[in-house]
Amino acid sequence: MKRILFIVGSLRKDSFNRQLAHEAEKMIGTRAEVTYLDYSNVPFINQDIEFPEPETVNQLRTKVKEADGIWVFTPEYNFSYPGHVKNVFDWLSRPLVAGDYDTKTVINGKKVALSGAGGKMATAKCREKLTELLTFIKADVMELQTGVALNVEAWTEGRMILSDEQLKNLKEQAESFLKFIE
């Protein structure tokens, strides 16, 4: 069975992007094993602590290495991705052995899907910049992405209600991602 690692770009317990991830997980069902990455205790990247890597970074790398694909669900912060999301990918892009820039990193060639829930631009700038970053660090980013412009209830009541069109788009992305990681 394929393994998919979900990375939710908001640390908030009931964030809209976590809600979106739960919807995608339901759509995947039993066709793949889905796990969520807890990166809340990964330190900021710092060459002073890079070798040997902190245990939390080792755990991060192991979870990514074991996954057949990564699906990122992230909000947009100031026309870009959140800093803590960048920190995860910065760690994943670094060599595993000091000075060894020839060996592939754990993110190199990893298949990645991107989705996001946010304001009226539906995280377009965030996904664009995240695609650029992931491509630069040699991840294999799936072209089909899902952006959700949140409904009024999300902002006033804290609950995201997806339209039929948004559900259709997310389902299409889930189906495509399952094929992408085959």
106: CB partners within 8 A, 6+ apart: 61, 64, 65, 92, 96
Gyration radius (Cα) of the chain, Å: 16
Phi-psi region of 99 (alpha: psi -120 to 50; beta: other; left: phi over 0): left
- Report the predicted TM-score, pTM, of the whole model to 2 decimal places: 0.96
In the predicted model, what is the mean pLDDT of the chain?
96
Tokens in use for 37? 């990455």
In this prediction, residue 152 carries a pLDDT of: 85
- Show the domains of the chain with their CATH numbers: 2-180 (3.40.50.360)
In this prediction, residue 16 carries a pLDDT of: 96
In this prediction, residue 177 carries a pLDDT of: 98
**CA–CA separation, 154 and 141 (whole Å):** 28
